[in-house]
Amino acid sequence: MCGPIALAIPVDRSSVHRILLGSLIYNAGRILTYSIMGLVFGLIGQGFAIAGLQNILSVVLGVLILLFMFLPQQPFIVAKKGVVFRLLEKLKSRLRNQFNIHSKRSLFLIGTLNGLLPCGLVYLGIAGSISAGSSLNGALFMAGFGLGTFPAMMTITVIRDVITVSFREKIRRAMPVFIAFMAVLLILRGLNLGIPYISPSIETMGNTTQHTCCHK
């Protein structure tokens, strides 16, 4: 979802400087939305961590991501019958309106609204923020997610005229593989196998969580 929007954002292309500035403003809005989402979902994850359910949550999130990949039509069939679909249509409508306004404010709003659109990688980021264990960690996780995608999004905006359709198709096909890989990592993390950095052993003591696999 982010790639096509980054290709189409109405930046002033009269100079490289203006293109970079427009892309920076757009991505700032996107990262802000991601950070707020991370804050909210991190708070949800904090409740699970306090209850000692962080491992179970990690496994459940990984399994759900895999299910949504193998059953891609199911959530959308349900959504079209409810409030979520109508809200999504309003969001897309407002986003389209911003593309007709050539200003720094519109670029920032496009970024903030873009962060709310359905996207497999964003879902993966949200899963990570929930399993981060606190609202602060969730916000930092999603901010890091946004910053990590920032170079690619800026590059797409700058060199959009040389990006071929076949290259876009290759990226689109690679995304499900990457998402599946990360979902498996979430599952392994929750299984508490004692594998350093991949599936650390986690012991819950009261309201605190300790990682015991990597330190003696």
108-144 tens-digit pLDDT: 999 999 988 877 788 888 888 888 878 999 999 999 9
Range of lowest pLDDT (30-44, 83-97, 101-115) = 83-97
| pLDDT at residue 107, as a whole number | 93
Highest mean predicted confidence (pLDDT) among 11-20, 42-51, 166-175: 11-20
| pLDDT at residue 80, as a whole number | 54
Q: What is the pTM of this model?
A: 0.74
Is residue 67 one of the residues assigned to a domain? yes
How many angstroms from the chain centroid is the CA of residue 33?
Answer: 10
Judge whether residue 212 has pLDDT over 60: no
Q: Identify the domain containing residue 187 by its residue range.
A: 2-211
pLDDT band at 27; cut points 50, 70, 90 = very high
CB 210 within 8 A of CB 201: no
In the chain, % of residues over pLDDT 70? 81
Residue of higher predicted confidence among 110 and 205: 110
| pLDDT at residue 13, as a whole number | 86
| pLDDT at residue 72, as a whole number | 56
Average pLDDT, the chain: 80
Is residue 177 one of the residues assigned to a domain? yes
Q: How far is CA 208 from CA 18, 41, 129, 193, in A?
A: 48, 19, 18, 19
Mean pLDDT across the stretch 76-91? 67
Is residue 104 one of the residues assigned to a domain? yes
- Where are the extended beta strands (E) located within the chain? 202-205, 208-211
Dist. CA 25–CA 86, nearest whole Å? 28
Is residue 30 one of the residues assigned to a domain? yes
Gap between the terminal Cα atoms of the chain: 44
Is residue 113 one of the residues assigned to a domain? yes
Judge whether residue 207 has pLDDT over 60: no
Q: How far is CA 209 from CA 53, 60, 216, in A?
A: 10, 19, 16
CA dihedral over 117, 118, 121, 125, signed as positive or negative:
positive
Residue of higher predicted confidence among 169 and 17: 17
Is residue 216 one of the residues assigned to a domain? no
Is residue 186 one of the residues assigned to a domain? yes
Is residue 35 one of the residues assigned to a domain? yes
Dist. CA 116–CA 34, nearest whole Å? 8
Dist. CA 145–CA 188, nearest whole Å? 20
Question: Per DSSP, what are the bridge partners of residue 195?
Answer: 199
Number of domains in the chain: 1
